[in-house]
Amino acid sequence: QAQLAESGGGLVQAGDSLKLSCTASGFQFSRYYAGWLRQAPGKEREFVAAINLYGGSTHYADSVRGRFTISRDNVNNRLYLEMNHLEPEDTAIYYCVADLDGTWGEVVRGAIRWDRRGQGTQVTVSS
């Protein structure tokens, strides 16, 4: 069964760092674009970051660029999101996503329809 499982969320203070992990199973992760979305209370789900098949290209939301770093390990089927200088506005449920059929252009334009998503991990940043 194809699955994405996030881990690493928690409660931190503003300015702290946190690293999220996502483990893919049941499908060939290396063939999929991958990324992170987040959803804050009362807000719509939004794009955070994405990475291409081999990690050579990345794309970030303006709100996290320079603070967050996405990476992947195709040998161990893992996706990561390293988050530095966290702000209370980063508080959200973070979801790991993956897509097989889209293009990198769709990722950059925000037009990709991610076809796999994990259950999410809560990140709370206190001020």
Q: What is the pLDDT of residue 15?
A: 98
Specify the pLDDT at position 6. 98
Element (H, E) at 23: strand 18-25
Average the pLDDT over 10-38 and give the result.
97
Region 83-110: what's the mean pLDDT? 96
Band (54; pLDDT cuts 50, 70, 90): very high
- The three-class DSSP label of residue 110 is coil
Element (H, E) at 106: helix 104-109
Do 10 and 23 touch, CB atoms closer than 8 A? no
Residue 81's pLDDT band, with cuts at 50, 70 and 90, is very high
What pLDDT was estimated at residue 40?
97
